Homo-oligomer: A and B are copies of this chain.
Amino acid sequence: MDRRTLIKGAIASAATLSSAAALASAPPASKLKAIRRAVDADFDRSLTRIKDWMRLPTVAAEKLNVEQGADYMAKLATEAGFTRVRKVATGGNPAVFGVLDAGAKRTIGLYFMYDVKQYDEPGWSSPPLEPVMFDHPMGRALRGRGACNHKGPEGTFLAAIHAFRAAGVPLPVNLVLLAEGEEEIGSPNLRNALKDAEVLAELQRADAVFMPTPMQGLKGEVAISLGAKGMIECELIASGERWDRGAVQDIHSGMKAAVDSPVWRLIEALSTLVKDGGNTPAIDGWFEHYRPLTDRQRVMLAKLNGTSTDAEVKASLGVKKWIDDLPLAEAMERMTSEPTVNIEGLVAGYTGPGGKTILPTRATAKLDFRIVPDMKAADCVAKLRAHLAKRGFSDIEIKVSGNYDPTETSETSGLVLAQQAFLDRRGLEHTITPRIAGSYPGYIYTGEPLRKPFNQFGLGMGGKAHAPDEFYLIESNNPKVAGLREATMGHVEFLYMLASIA
């Protein structure tokens, strides 16, 4: 996930007046003070907890450190005070479950991930598995794989719970934790955790669910997100073996004169999936359940635009031109509204330096499809399959590694109202974005059977998720932007807000 990057810069906050603050009780000042002392006292331990966790990367795509990562997640939960902590079988990497019963009236669900993105990309300034502090324009930051996606932010939340206990203050809400180890491959098995009766029952008790996430922009502003696109991640594989044409193994390329090529076949099939140079899906029926933006969503987007210049946004995202040279507002509207067909990677035949005169027997395209309400992942996979079959490409294997539906949460839910109240109280500018361009498996919570409000929330700042030099801000030189201590206190206060209005 790289939600921050997707909206950072693109969406600067415009102050919005909200009546939400009026709904919430102020957190008790004396308790906050005691907790703050505990947060400060525990700072080193909290930072070390994050660093130690980063040294154990669970990479789902590579089946790396799966059980170790789940056990480590369980250990962290237990140490933070969760009970009934256990691994939950999902058919894939295990989920980790736990509850923290504070005897409170309200219950809040937490969505964590214990896996991280691969760390093989070149360009790291220091080894990705050796977390180090460095000077960042915003202060002192922690660098390494998982720093902001998502061990730093999750470790920040754990620090908050530790601080409650250290201060002898009961939590204002009960907590239910569900952590998964396959977020980075599209959460293919997370929903299976809900087949566990205890997990389902405890989550059904929750009033809302959120994922601790550093949401602040350069000036401290926060863009509350109401949803995300759904995603299907898959490989399309053309092979002589399944096609029953071409060669059974790589053969000399001179044979092309009389032998079919699975590589050309894959390219032909791929070409049918898009139009407009790859910018518009062309899969049969793809837009059947596409729901255009509502007027209210357009109003939200309009509020978001205009605070950053086109050049600023492009520079922050590393982009030269928008599709069709669109103006910023239309580019951002596409980010919110449009389904995409993206090629993450191509692999066929000889991939080393120079050439090698072979006719390959196999070609693979790694694709991700982003979908918007009311498109459903399962339906889209079926449409993709039918589209290829109709064109005679049934031999092309569709290997789905992850898929989930879009997610949406109402702006009038207690969760979002509590977030606005919290930000108002802090004096932080905030806006609402109807949907981010990225994806996360929020539908697990917002969809059937739970139907809970869900989004991501937290103070703090991080960046370069999925990229070299991923970082998480630890000591901020801007009082509006939270470092580790302030972000931890942010969760403390936010839990009080949730207790009163979630």
Which residues of A are at the interface with B, using a C-beta cutoff of 8 A?
2, 5-6, 60-62, 117-118, 120-121, 185-186, 229, 231, 233-235, 240, 244-261, 263-265, 267-268, 270-271, 274, 277-279, 317-323, 326, 331-332, 334-338, 340-360, 363, 366, 368, 370, 401-402, 436-439, 465-467
Contact for A437 among B234, B250, B255, B320, CB less than 8 A: B255
* Shortest 10 CB-CB contacts between residues of A and residues of B: A264-B278, A61-B354, A345-B349, A254-B438, A254-B437, A345-B350, A346-B348, A256-B340, A258-B331, A256-B342
Separation of A465 and B2 alpha carbons in the complex (Å) = 47
Distance (Å) between the CB of A469 and the closest chain B CB?
12
List, in ascending order, chain B residues with CB within 8 A of A358's CB. 344-345, 466
Separation of A279 and B246 alpha carbons in the complex (Å) = 11
Q: Across the two chains, which residue of chain B brings its CB closest to A322? A: B258
Stoichiometry, as copies per complex, reads 2
Q: Across the two chains, which residue of chain B brings its CB closest to A245? A: B321
* Known contacts A61-B354, A185-B355, A326-B258: A318-B247 contact under CB 8 Å: yes
List, in ascending order, chain B residues with CB within 8 A of A250's CB. 121, 467
Contact for A340 among B257, B321, B344, B345, CB less than 8 A: B257
Contact for A61 among B240, B271, B356, B366, CB less than 8 A: B356
Separation of A321 and B337 alpha carbons in the complex (Å) = 46
* Known contacts A318-B251, A436-B254: A350-B335 contact under CB 8 Å: no
Structural contact, A438 and B251, CB atoms closer than 8 A: no
* Known contacts A278-B264, A346-B348: A259-B322 contact under CB 8 Å: yes
Contact for A355 among B5, B245, B366, B465, CB less than 8 A: B366
Separation of A366 and B253 alpha carbons in the complex (Å) = 12
Distance (Å) between the CB of A191 and the closest chain B CB?
19
- At the interface, is chain A mostly helix, strand, loop or mixed? mixed
Structural contact, A401 and B2, CB atoms closer than 8 A: no
Structural contact, A356 and B254, CB atoms closer than 8 A: no
Structural contact, A251 and B357, CB atoms closer than 8 A: no
Structural contact, B248 and A318, CB atoms closer than 8 A: yes
Greatest chain B CB density within 10 A among A244, A260, A268, A355 is at A355
Contact for A256 among B240, B249, B363, B370, CB less than 8 A: B370
> What would 8 more interface pairs be, CB under 8 Å, given A61-B355, A235-B355?
A6-B254, A61-B354, A251-B319, A253-B342, A254-B370, A255-B335, A344-B359, A346-B351
Greatest chain B CB density within 10 A among A250, A254, A268, A345 is at A254
List, in ascending order, chain B residues with CB within 8 A of A439's CB. 254
Can you show 8 pairs from A to B with CB atoms below 8 A apart? A186-B355, A245-B320, A250-B467, A257-B334, A343-B363, A344-B357, A344-B360, A346-B351
Separation of A337 and B231 alpha carbons in the complex (Å) = 47
Structural contact, A263 and B346, CB atoms closer than 8 A: yes
Structural contact, B264 and A277, CB atoms closer than 8 A: yes
Structural contact, A323 and B259, CB atoms closer than 8 A: yes
List, in ascending order, chain B residues with CB within 8 A of A323's CB. 258-260
Separation of A439 and B257 alpha carbons in the complex (Å) = 12
* Known contacts A240-B320, A274-B264, A438-B252: A352-B257 contact under CB 8 Å: no
Distance (Å) between the CB of A67 and the closest chain B CB?
18
Structural contact, A401 and B254, CB atoms closer than 8 A: no
Distance (Å) between the CB of A403 and the closest chain B CB?
11
List, in ascending order, chain B residues with CB within 8 A of A62's CB. 352-354
List, in ascending order, chain B residues with CB within 8 A of A354's CB. 60-62, 185, 401
* Known contacts A257-B334, A257-B370, A347-B346: A317-B251 contact under CB 8 Å: yes
Separation of A36 and B179 alpha carbons in the complex (Å) = 78
Q: Across the two chains, which residue of chain B brings its CB closest to A3? A: B254
Separation of A268 and B276 alpha carbons in the complex (Å) = 10
Structural contact, A254 and B229, CB atoms closer than 8 A: yes
Greatest chain B CB density within 10 A among A6, A234, A244, A260 is at A260
Separation of A349 and B121 alpha carbons in the complex (Å) = 10
Separation of A148 and B100 alpha carbons in the complex (Å) = 71
Greatest chain B CB density within 10 A among A256, A260, A321 is at A256
Separation of A56 and B437 alpha carbons in the complex (Å) = 53
Distance (Å) between the CB of A154 and the closest chain B CB?
20
